[in-house]
Amino acid sequence: MTSSSGSARKNPYYQGPVSYHFDGQRFFNPGGVAPGNALDLLRWQLGGGRVRWPNPVISAFPPAKPDRHVFGEQMRVTMVGHASMLVQVAGMNILTDPVWSERVSPFRTVGPKRVVPPGIRFEDLPHIDLVLVTHNHYDHLDLATLARLQQAHRPKIVTPLGNDTIIRRTVPDADIAVVDWGDRVEVRGGVTIDTEPCHHWSARGMGDRRMALWAAFVLTTPAGKIYHVGDTGFHDGINYDAVRQKHGGFRLAILPFGAYEPRWFMKGQHQNPEEAVRGMKLCNAAYVAGHHFATFQLTNEGIDAPVQALDAALKAEGVEPDRFRPLRAGEVFDVPVV
């Protein structure tokens, strides 16, 4: 796969050598599916079928007030909303793709709006040691939130190639570890982070598609391994199978299972609940914290459709429901020891 013909635009985020997933200008998924083009997007937007969400939504869980730390065999996940979670393990407080903004959009007054408040008030966060940013879409890389975190916590940020350039435009003094697929970062306290492939894409505007890398992360901790995926297409389960072969299995996988309709447009980049359950089994995860639903309406399905489809998929695959937890804002999941 090569860059679009006729395009000589310089990559504004990253310059580096050609690799098996970078053609010198754009990143790509080897053997994978490219995201839809502008005509596909127009066809989707004009095609109807979008189910209206209620707004606002009241979570069944009150805003959480997390402990300062957890230690020993404890592993705790608290849902903020969408792909934003507080992971507490081995004395570390880790945020995934943190978004406290009201919209996930380049604009303040238009674009997908939050329907449920964050499950942790920003002021109630414990000291944040580490932030994982999987890619640069607005529902995962929120510059306003990263600036707030820098001012209040000064965490270390781990993110794939090119995203550091975007972050430093707003947070110039951020402590960023920039990683490629296959890289490993040593953190502290016996915690390491491996950067693994996932099947997705990136863009902040109309002219920068696939110019920054996307990735999943594996955290190896004294309490067990965690596999965090911010966004992915199923891609025939290739990446799930590879991560199991490399890492052997996981106490916890953090997997997306929402934002998947219409399938003709979303299938290559967003897995659905059935695929998420298959991915859980392929990567040998004992438990899953499910995300990417019931916070921002990005796609066509109704607000409750992902959970209903997940229930059916778990029954069909013979997986106990308490092993795959679709976490609501404010919900706390203490991951059982395995």
DSSP track, 90-118:
TTEEEEES---SSB-SSSSSSS-BBSS--
How many structural domains are present in the chain? 1
Domain assignment of residue 195, yes or no: yes
d(Cα 237, Cα 187) in Å, to the nearest integer?
29
- Please say if the pLDDT value at position 288 is more than 60: yes
Average pLDDT of the segment spanning 289-313: 98
Q: pLDDT of 16-63, one tens digit each?
A: 999 999 999 999 999 999 999 989 989 999 999 999 999 999 999 999
pLDDT at 15: 96
- Please say if the pLDDT value at position 2 is more than 80: no
d(Cα 12, Cα 53) in Å, to the nearest integer?
37
pLDDT at 9: 72
3-state secondary structure of 315: helix
Q: How far apart are the first and last CA of the chain?
A: 42
Q: pLDDT of 145-193, one tens digit each?
A: 999 999 999 999 999 999 999 999 999 999 999 999 999 999 988 899 9
Q: pLDDT of 213-238, one tens digit each?
A: 999 999 999 999 999 999 999 999 99
d(Cα 320, Cα 322) in Å, to the nearest integer?
6
d(Cα 70, Cα 316) in Å, to the nearest integer?
35
Q: pLDDT of 251-261, one tens digit each?
A: 999 999 999 99
Domain assignment of residue 315, yes or no: yes
Domain assignment of residue 52, yes or no: no
Q: How is the chain split among helix, strand and coil, in percent rounded to 5?
A: 20, 25, 55
Mean pLDDT of the residues in the chain: 95
Average pLDDT of the segment spanning 326-337: 98
Domain assignment of residue 165, yes or no: yes
Band of residue 111 on the pLDDT scale cut at 50, 70, 90: very high
| Higher pLDDT among residues 282 and 3, named by residue | 282
Average pLDDT of the segment spanning 199-219: 97
Q: pLDDT of 118-129, one tens digit each?
A: 999 999 999 999
pLDDT at 8: 53
3-state secondary structure of 40: helix
What is the dihedral sign for C-alpha 136, 325, 245, 71? positive
Domain CATH for 115: 3.60.15.10
The residues facing 157 across adjacent strands are 131, 176
pLDDT at 108: 86
d(Cα 183, Cα 194) in Å, to the nearest integer?
6
Q: Which two tokens stand for residue 187?
A: 């953190």
Domain assignment of residue 46, yes or no: no
Domain range for residue 216? Answer: 62-323
3-state secondary structure of 296: strand
d(Cα 192, Cα 250) in Å, to the nearest integer?
14
Report which DSSP code applies to 122: G
DSSP 220-262: EETTEEEEE-SS-B-GGGHHHHHHHHHH--EEEEEEE-----S
pLDDT at 215: 98
Task: Tally the residues of the chain.
Answer: 338
Domain assignment of residue 258, yes or no: yes
Band of residue 207 on the pLDDT scale cut at 50, 70, 90: very high
3-state secondary structure of 328: coil
pLDDT at 4: 40
d(Cα 143, Cα 229) in Å, to the nearest integer?
20
